[in-house]
Amino acid sequence: MTIRLAVNEPRWLAHVQGVAKSMPGLVPVVKGNGYGFRRWNLMPLAGQLSSEIAVGTVFEVRDIPSNVTPIVLTPTMTAPPKNLPLNTVLTVGSRHHVVALTSAGWSGEVIVKLQSSTLRYGVTKGDFDALIADVRNARFTIRGYAIHPPLEGDVNVWLKEITSWLSLLDASLPVYVSHLNADAYMRLRAMNPEYAFKIRMGTSLWHGDKSMMQLSADVVDHHPIESGMRAGYRQTKVDGPGEVVLIGCGTAHGVLPLPDGRSPFHYQRQRLNMLEPPHMHTSMLFVARGRPIPSMGEWIDVQQPLTRVQVDLLQWMR
């Protein structure tokens, strides 16, 4: 049983390199499931694009090449791994993050996270001076600042949000931003030439035109079922005759029903109904008698966010 991501390698590489060229100061983000590619597959390419790579947590740093500076995006309240490379840059957005690191005996470079309208991690303007004092008292070295605007909304509002912080910041240190397209990012740099900006990019860097990629899973088995019979872990009753089709992926791969409850599986451009929600390594579908049924060993399309899916097989196509 397998879930597979097939990628048109030449088109994908052209997209990645094109984005990198259009974004001076790019810091590739390679976190979580590696945007569907697995982190260790993206790391060598990310290291060619920048001398810095951002990851999600202190436990993901181990995948970064030794000649690249790791930047950890998420603050940690637990002690970092003892084998964390000395050049790792951690993020702090409150005095609690500083206390946690000093209590763990950690010392090194940090990026100060600034609060945005997302209201995720980040210090407020009112607490900024106190946090900077805490960082200096802890003898951490400030590498720069970071602000993380929302994914949705007016980009002009985001730019105002970013620039509203600049008067508080040391202009000799870079400001790491995200969620800006090339036009907005270049406007930010042009409007504020006295500041150095870097842009952290994940999804928009690694994912381009979805026609370059195909997520699919194999059909492991199927068998007939008659009206009124029950099947599955939850003993779901079927209303008519058909076929139970077993697909080789499930929650262990991060495959779930769509947000509206619909099935994520497609065959011959038709959505296949789930008998019950996916479970671990198998999803059970019900295909009514008379409708096209995929053969055993055949691959069907899976509609899922690549930021969540753990694929078994990454296939580069030419």
Model pLDDT for residues 5-55, shown as the tens digit of each residue = 999 999 999 999 999 999 999 999 999 999 999 999 999 999 999 999 999
Element (H, E) at 145: strand 141-147
If you write DSSP's letter for every residue of 253-285 in order, what string do you get? GT----TTS---EEETTEEPEESS--BTTBEEE
Q: Rounded CA gap, 153 and 272, in Å? A: 34
Whether 252 and 279 have beta carbons less than 8 Å apart is answered as: no
Q: What is the dihedral of CA 240, 244, 250, 251, to 10 degrees?
A: 40
Q: Rounded CA gap, 159 and 81, in Å? A: 36
Closest by alpha carbon to 94, among 70, 128, 64, 68?
A: 128
Token digits of residue 286? 């019900």
Positive or negative, the CA dihedral 159, 160, 165, 166 is positive
Q: Rounded CA gap, 315 and 89, in Å? A: 33
Q: What is the pLDDT of residue 210?
A: 86
What are residue 285's DSSP bridge partners? 245, 274
Q: What is the pLDDT of residue 154?
A: 87
Q: Does domain 210-317 have CATH number 3.40.190.10?
A: no
Neighbours of 314 (CB within 10 A): 14
- Residue found under tokens 């007939």: 224
Ranges of residues in the chain with a pLDDT under 50 are none
Q: What is the pLDDT of residue 208?
A: 86
Residue type, 292: P
Q: Rounded CA gap, 163 and 59, in Å? A: 32
* Pairing between β-strand 270-271 and β-strand 265-267 as defined by DSSP bridges: antiparallel
H-type alpha helices, the chain: 9-22, 39-49, 95-103, 128-137, 155-163, 182-191, 203-206
Token digits of residue 260? 């509206």
Q: Rounded CA gap, 247 and 250, in Å? A: 8
Q: What backbone phi and psi angles, to 5 degrees, belong to 283? A: -120, 135
CATH of 9-206, one of 3.40.1360.10, 3.20.20.70, 3.40.1310.30, 3.20.20.10: 3.20.20.10
- The residue ranges of every structural domain in the chain are 9-206, 210-317
Q: Rounded CA gap, 297 and 306, in Å? A: 23
Same CATH topology for 9-206 and 210-317: the answer is: no
Closest by alpha carbon to 272, among 299, 251, 253, 235?
A: 299
